[in-house]
Structure 1
Amino acid sequence: MSQSTCTINKCKRISSALCHCCNQDICLLHLKEHYDKIILQLNPLTDEINTIDNRLITIDIKELIIEYCKQLEQWQLQQIIINKIDKQKNEINLIKKEIYQFNENLNTIEHTSFKINIQPLLINDNLIEIEEKSDLHSILSLPFKTIDFSEIKSLIIATNDQYLLIHQNLYLYLIDYDFKIIKKLPWHLERIKDICWSSTFHRFILTTENYGICFVYENTISLYNANCFKQEKFHSCTCSNTSLFLTVDDYGSSIMEYHLLPLIELIKQWKSPYTCTKDEYMDSIRYNNEKFSLIIQKFPEKILKIELRSIKTLDRLWSIQLDMDLKPYQYGKIKETYHYNPRPYNATLFRDNILAILTESGINFHKL
């Protein structure tokens, strides 16, 4: 086996070691010298490594992350602004293009000539109609239709969107919009105090002298003696979409509100003096557009009051007082009066433009 010689400075000695760093054969004499030389090369690297390590120790990673996040957000914001600017530039260019096109069209119009043939305007005098202002005299002076009845039993009439209902002799009559009697129902329950229409039940509701509440529609008449009705005698009635309102037949009249569905039940009661005083009697109640109209008689002064009340609070919104000759007593003012003949007992709207007036001899119909 051959032996290699030392490679340092052309030394002739037999090598004793192999430097793994530089892959050189070295004798014992030059081994330390070679080692010292390598150490001298490593020391600067060690110093640099220590310097880098110290720098790394001083770096705050959290702050660095926060700073880079801020830079990233700023970049994103800048990018959004750039995108908006680009979009606005595109919109401006589009507007410029439309303005340019508009100017081109305008120039074309300005240099275009038109030939206009004008014909004389012919006015047909029959197409112009001046409607005279209606007053009570023009409305009530002459009915356009009359239905004669004798022996009117109840001074009440009522309507719905199809029929007019009246009580005469021993029958209830349903009259349609053609003023024809389309149904005649037998009636044996004495005088009817009031009638109102319930769109919820699709029935007429009647208050009677001795038999409580009745429902009537076309072929049916039914008594409704629910427990909630048995404790009171009622006089006047009216309905909203959800409730039935009844006045108690007594001085200092109360107003009872009954919810209609799913079952008829009492939900509210207004009593004297909120309704009327103890010497007053509520003769009529009507509902429309979240308001009550009330007719109240006062005894013994023989004064009649007509009032408009809020349905929620029963607060008085408007009032007029009359004596029994229908002269203003106080508060309100009568704008116009008309002496109707024969004597009227009751009135109601039939459809939207017809006033039906019940008299001692029948029903008169007037166009509004």
Structure 2
Amino acid sequence: MASSSLPCAVSECKRPSRALCNCCQQYLCRDHLKQHDDLIDAQLPHLADQINALSDQFNNSTLLESSGLTELNRWREDAHKTVGQFYERKCQQFRQVVQERQNKQRKELDRMRSNMNELIREQEATQVQINSMTESIRSFEQDINNLQQVHFKINPLVIDDNLISIPQETTSRDLLHEPPQHQTMQSTSNIVSNNDRHLPANQKRNPSFPGKENRGFQISRFLVTIMDHI
């Protein structure tokens, strides 16, 4: 008893189908099934090249110079610049304070020298004046020492660790995502038909049953349904 087979899903193909393609759920003849298989296999080398390129990029040390690390280095440079500007501002303030105190000391020193010259010229100094001058000299000397040994009140620079937040993980994705088997970019019949249309005349599918040259085609990714006679 014979069962009728469905025609090949490829347009303009009059041959009966021999298998059901599991990825696109279309019935194909043996020739177009092999062409469909070859079209899928032909994409593998390109994908392998892309994986190798990704491997080279991943193993390249320049990968560490990511945009995030670049931003962190820029932040460090800006922070150093900010600290440097703060330091220069405080140095300027200190120089200004020193200059003001030195101006006062210079005036005091000129006053002491003038009084001393007057006492020497008149030769009528009293012990009280001598004691006062001695105390002024001692006080002036102490003031100079204090200025030379000035100590700043410096608080340590406290940096909040929350100033910079580093994500612990990137967005999770399924890197091995595979689309549903029934979804394809184009229907198998269109792909195979277009491919068959551009083949030279001597390479187009043989209208007769495929011979020895087609015996080795792979059907591992297809769900094969026998459509021949029982």
TM-score range, shorter chain: under 0.3
TM-score by length of 2: 0.28
Greater helix content = 2
In proportion to residue count, which structure has more strand? Answer: 1
Higher relative contact order (CA closer than 8 Å, sequence separation 6+): 2
Greater Cα radius of gyration, structure 1 or 2: 1
